[in-house]
Structure 1
């Protein structure tokens, strides 16, 4: 089982460093960072003050977490998504996870590398992504 904790971390203005987006640094962290292949429940706790979500996407080739192209709408493509946790106090897709609430999704993952990310407008560019490694 994976558990993500994320939310704003600081309040400094945009200073050109990766992850800064005016409102401060945001982060998404996986605990644990490595899980065995098979059925995995991703439990998300929104420890921040804004609404968030978590999308599960495979990481292709040598691409690192945080390297996806951000579109003009401030979001990345969700093509190939394996699951989403964005329903306050529930499973699957919804309207976002309220501050202080939890959500979850259960996905079947093959060995490989995956990116967990928040795709609320501007949050990915603000640093809300992390890698999850899946072993045999």
Structure 2
């Protein structure tokens, strides 16, 4: 892994390791995406995402508008939320940026220059957002 730029935020994705299908393409709230802190100082930030689960995951960074809370985005019929406004994602195994998902026991990362505000970090693989894979980050 190369030297990571800026402040590093450790993000962990987890799942229960068995099928969590609750309906067509949907999963019950049994997955998590957590960051090692809830507040960071603005500027260059690297999100180092470790998949501690048993299936692939990813992490997107999207600004939260106004009083919007993490976990409130509408989930489409495909089990995903709208990625409009995404500033970047960590979805490549042992690499930076976009890919097909971070495989179990592996890491991926993305470096962004974030301005002050509130952001939602989430996994947008089908059913994962609905299953609880999101958290909020405040940038001061």
Q: Report the TM-score when normalising by structure 1.
A: 0.89
Report whether the alignment pairs 1:8 with 2:15.
yes
Q: Matched residues in 1 for 2:59 and 2:105: separation? A: 15
Q: Deviation of residue 10 (structure 1)?
A: 7.9
Q: Deviations over 1:21-56 (max 9, x none)?
A: 24x610010112211101100000000001000000
Q: Deviations over 1:80-131 (max 9, x none)?
A: 0001000000000011100000000001111010000000000000000000
Moved over 2 A (4+): 9-15
Counterpart for residue 61 of structure 1: 66
Correspondent of 1:107 among 112, 121, 137: 112
Report whether the alignment pairs 1:21 with 2:27.
yes
Task: Name the Cα RMSD after superposition.
Answer: 2.0
SS at match of 1:84: strand
SS at match of 1:121: coil
Structure 1: gaps (5+ residues)? none
The answer to whether the 8 Å contact 1:4/1:29 transfers is: yes
SS at match of 1:88: coil
Report whether the alignment pairs 1:77 with 2:82.
yes
Q: Matched residues in 2 for 1:89 and 1:14: separation? A: 28
The answer to whether the 8 Å contact 1:12/1:25 transfers is: no
Structure 2: gaps (5+ residues)? 1-7
Q: Report the TM-score when normalising by structure 2.
A: 0.86
